[in-house]
């Protein structure tokens, strides 16, 4: 359990930038073109399971992407609230490898087609998939209108520079799904 908690703290440290699996969902009745200002929720400012350094990296990456989308920060009267959540899921894969001499009685003893001897080795690999959720909530209606998700295998041994690059990359990829395409809103 302590290992999972440790890995949850590192959930944003993706193994490599190239394969973040992204997806999104949205409320088709939301007026996305009217959203211009944002504020982080109190929960987003205190994301559990992540250290302060990575939390600040994450918040900065989200601010950068929102700014690129034309948003400005407004603590007083935002159009949308931005919430951030993390989820870590421990997974395991198994790989079987056969070795030996299946068509004889061992090396050099090819007298017949007997059962031979072979062994099967099973290797287990345990890893953690981390998912980052970025939620956009209509501040007036207090209703979720958009959610972007990015999932990747966690690399707990990434360098400081790589962590920052990976966080920025993951957030940028998630925001490629915002705003929803106009043809999808009809």
What pLDDT sits at residue 139? 97
**89-128 residue pLDDT tens:** 888 888 888 876 555 455 555 555 555 567 888 888 887 7
Specify burial of residue 113 (Cβ count, 10 A radius: 0-12, 13-18, 19+): exposed
What pLDDT sits at residue 68? 97
Share of the chain above pLDDT 70, in %: 77
Domains in the chain, please, with CATH? 2-89+127-184 (3.30.160.670)
Residue 13 has pLDDT above 50, yes or no: no
When computed from its CA atoms, the radius of gyration of the chain, rounded to whole angstroms, is: 24
- Beta-ladder partners of 72: 37
**29-48 residue pLDDT tens:** 999 999 999 999 999 999 88
Q: Report the predicted TM-score, pTM, of the whole model to 2 decimal places.
A: 0.75
Cβ contacts of residue 67 below 8 Å, gap of 6+? none
Give every strand in the sheet of 21-26, ordered side by side.
21-26, 143-153, 117-138, 80-101, 37-40, 72-73
**58-75 residue pLDDT tens:** 999 999 999 999 999 999
What pLDDT sits at residue 74? 97
């Amino acid at each position: 359990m302590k290992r999972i908690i440790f890995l949850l703290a590192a959930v944003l440290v993706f193994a490599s930038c190239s394969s973040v699996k992204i997806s999104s969902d949205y409320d088709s009745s939301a007026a996305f073109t009217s959203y211009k200002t944002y504020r982080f929720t109190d929960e987003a400012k205190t994301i559990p399971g992540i250290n302060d350094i990575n939390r600040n990296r994450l918040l900065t990456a989200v601010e950068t992407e929102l700014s690129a989308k034309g948003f400005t920060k407004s603590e007083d009267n935002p159009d949308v609230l931005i919430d951030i959540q993390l989820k870590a899921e421990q997974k395991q894969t198994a790989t079987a490898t056969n070795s030996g001499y299946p068509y004889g009685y061992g090396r050099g003893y090819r007298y017949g087609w007997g059962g031979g001897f072979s062994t099967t080795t099973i290797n287990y690999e345990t890893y953690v998939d981390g998912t980052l959720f970025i939620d956009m909530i209509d501040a007036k209606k207090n209703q979720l209108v958009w959610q972007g998700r990015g999932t990747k295998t966690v690399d707990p041994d990434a360098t400081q520079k790589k962590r920052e690059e990976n966080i920025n990359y993951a957030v940028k990829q998630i925001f490629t799904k915002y705003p929803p395409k106009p043809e999808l809103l009809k």
